[in-house]
Structure 1
Amino acid sequence: MASVTFRDCFLCVSALITFGFVFVTGADFVRFVSFRAIYHNLSGAAPPCRDSVPWSVALRDGVVLKAVAVDVLLLVLFSLQHSVLARAPVKRVCESVFGVLSRSVYCFSTAAALQMLMQCWRPVSGAPCLWSVHTAPWDIWFPLLCFIVHFLCWAVICSILLIFDYPELMGIKQVYYECLGLGDPLLLKSERAQRLFSHLRHPVCVELLTVLWLLPSLPLDRLVLAAFLTAYLALAHSLDAQDCVYLRRQLQSKLQIFSTPLEDSERSNTHKTQ
């Protein structure tokens, strides 16, 4: 039985700290994107915008322009961190410096950049909303509908992350395999799976876009957030025809497994092992 070294303990603790920080940041992001944007409608609080102010006046207001500039700068900094560290030359430098912790360092820095964006975000309340639901009874029912759809979208996002090997996305699996001397877990996957993982940057585009845009009120700062992240997700999409064929085959095989009766599945597995 292999002995546990100080290096192994350090790697495991670092990976677990990263996992905890990313988990807390994910919960804060759900609150930032969904709960805070819907809560004022459900609670009857003051609207996040001033519909009495025309756009021509709001766009000349120095307070509004300063808040929008700060929000855009935060989004640019987050996108730079998220994209530059994903480039192949930078990844090679990180792997040479941090070794097996390179994926954990990437996730930790991404969570830190996202925390800075959320903590320093400047709401814009001095401009009108792009749309806002005020007419009864939709002023109550539409926020409830948005809340239900947001809940379902976040549930789907969590399911997709679990399917796409969440421990490996967080860098925990890499540390575990390193401690056991098994090498990089990505290299144990098929070539088509490795190709898919190299192209699939954001597997939750549809659900995240739904959460960003489906709101009872869309103030100016939320419009900036939704438009910027929509453009970023569109530019980051790099799947090609071979990736789509591989995904379609994987989906068909999963559906076939779930649609096969349990007895037939066990009989098939027994036949394969004999």
Structure 2
Amino acid sequence: MASVTARVIICILALLNFVFVFITGADFVSFISFRAIYNNITGESTICQDSVPWSFALRDSSVIKSLVVDVGLLAIFIVQHSLLAWAPVKQACQSVLGVLNRAMYCFTTALALQILMQYWQPVTEAPCLWSVRDAPWNTWFPLLCSTLHFICWAIIFSILLVFDYPELLGIKQVYYECHGMGDPLALKSPRAQRLFAHLRHPVCVELAVVLWLLPALSLDRLLLAGSLSAYLALAHSLDTQDCAYLSVQLHSKLQLFSLPQGEAAQDNYIHKQD
């Protein structure tokens, strides 16, 4: 009876974590894309002060205070995201949390993002690094940015689904544990496990686009985009073996479209074993 109760509690915690991470993801899309572009189109809030010279803005105490707070928030997220992925810490958490280890990692990541988004300090007293305000581009360029942001987020969500979204959030681990099927990652091929270990963030290009492509780039947005872009670039270590594996998998998937349904299913099963 205790085992059944424990499984129910684990499932509830995993589902609550899924809801929290999903809500945080939606908030992050709004924070990165919607708010910045919407404010630029409507002009409801001041993004920057182009009339203020940089020499004066960088000595302004309010600007420095906002930047210090933002750097601290970024440090919280980066430390959390890296420390819990460090092998000794990861093994220690695994020994304590067991099957909930991945869910805990996603929960703390979402919590760090929520703290960052809630307490982020816009720098409105400094000039913009660029600002598209001349007609007709002050109308068309924000629309272009909105379209490209939508496409990039659609690609990001598609890639997350391809990379096994339930496993990334720790739900699949709980499901397999409750059914006595072991660790789902252990059932993947060694080359797939190697790829997942090296490619922690499979959406670097798309995230770079949504971070940098804006009608106006304020000083705090430069800090955010620069820090996250550098972190994304340093967080994975793909090599020639990983690229070769990705090439083989892509080629096999493309071949499925040219095969009859029965042969396609058989061929897909064979490649899963690889």
Place the TM-score, normalised by the shorter chain, in its bin: over 0.9
Tell me, yes or no, if structure 1 residue 74 matches structure 2 residue 70. no
Native 8 Å contact 2:49 2:127 kept in 1: yes
Separation (CA, whole Å) in 1 of partners of 2:89 and 2:25:
25
Shift of 1:235: 1.1
Residue in 2 that maps onto 1:174:
173
**Structure 1 length as normaliser, TM-score?**
0.94
- Aligned residue number for residue 262 of structure 2: 266
1:193 corresponds to 2:203: no
Question: Structure 2 counterpart of 1:16, which letter?
Answer: L
The 2-side partners of 1:268 and 1:79 are apart by 42
Instruction: Give the counterpart letter for 1:56 in structure 2.
Output: S
Q: Which residue of 1 aligns with 2:110?
A: 111
C-alpha deviation, 1:77, in angstroms: 1.0
* Consecutive unaligned residues in structure 1, runs of 5 or more: none
Deviation at 1:269, TM superposition (A): 4.9
After TM superposition, what 4+ stretches of structure 1 lie above 2 angstroms from structure 2?
Answer: 44-47, 264-273
How far apart are residue 45 of structure 1 and its match?
2.7
Q: Which residue of 2 aligns with 1:12?
A: 11
Kindly provide the amino acid, as one letter, of the partner of residue 231 in structure 1: A
- Compute the displacement of 1:17 (Å): 0.5
Q: Which deviations, in whole Å up to 9, do the C-alpha atoms of 1:160-183 show, x marking residues without a partner?
A: 000000000000000000000111
Render the CA deviation track for 1:102-134: whole Å, top value 9, x for unaligned: 000000000000000000100000000000001
Distance 1:270 1:125, change over 3 A: closer
Alpha-carbon offset, residue 265 of structure 1: 3.5
User: Is the 1:41–1:140 contact (alpha carbons within 8 Å) kept by the matching residues of 2?
Assistant: no
Shift of residue 46, structure 1, vs aligned partner: 4.3
Residue 225 (structure 1) aligns with = 224
Gaps of at least 5 residues in structure 2 are 270-274
Distance verdict in 2 for CA 1:82–1:268, change over 3 Å? closer
* CA gap 1:270/1:35 in 2 versus in 1, 3 angstroms: closer
**How far apart, in 2, do the equivalents of 1:59 and 1:208 lie?**
28
Number of the residue aligned with 1:54: 53
Asked if the contact 2:256–2:268 (Cα under 8 Å) also holds between the matched residues in 1, the reply is: no
What percent identity do the matched residue pairs reach? 64
Report the Cα offset of residue 41 of structure 1.
2.3
Are positions 1:40 and 2:36 aligned together? no
CA RMSD, Structure 1 to Structure 2 (Å):
1.9
Question: TM-score, normalised on structure 2?
Answer: 0.94
- Paired residues of 1:146 and 1:216 also in contact (CA < 8 A): yes
Q: Deviations over 1:202-246 (max 9, x none)?
A: 000000000000000000000000000111111112111101110
Q: CA deviation at 1:256?
A: 1.5
Deviation at 1:4, TM superposition (A): 7.6
Aligned to 2:272: none
Alpha-carbon shift at residue 42 of structure 1 (Å) = 2.1
Corresponding residue for 2:99? 100
Q: SS state of the match for residue 216, structure 2?
A: coil
User: Are 1:209 and 2:205 an aligned pair?
Assistant: no
Taking a change above 3 Å as real, the CA distance of residues 93 and 268 of structure 1, as seen in their structure-2 partners, is closer
Task: Report which stretch shifted further, 213-222 or 34-43.
Answer: 34-43
